[in-house]
Amino acid sequence: MSIAHAVATAVLFTWLGMVAAISFIEAPLKFRAPGVSLQIGLGIGRLVFRALNTVEALLAAVVLIAVGADPPSPVAIVAVAVVVVTLAAQLLVVRTQLARRSDAVLVAPAGPGAPAGALRRSRAHYTYVGLELVKVVALVVAGAALLGA
**pLDDT tier for residue 37 given thresholds of 50, 70 and 90:** confident
Residue 133: domain span: 3-111+122-147
Residue 38 lies in a domain: yes
Residue 97 lies in a domain: yes
Whose CA is closest to 57, among 1, 137, 135?
135
Alpha-carbon span 48 to 53, nearest angstrom: 9
Average pLDDT, the chain: 89
* Number of domains making up the chain: 1
In a domain, 98, yes or no: yes
The whole-number pLDDT of residue 145 equals 97
Cα-Cα end-to-end distance for the chain? 6
Comparing 33-42, 62-71, 76-85, 131-140, the range with the smallest average pLDDT is 33-42
pLDDT value, residue 38: 83
Residue closest to 146 by CA, chosen among 63, 90, 29? 63
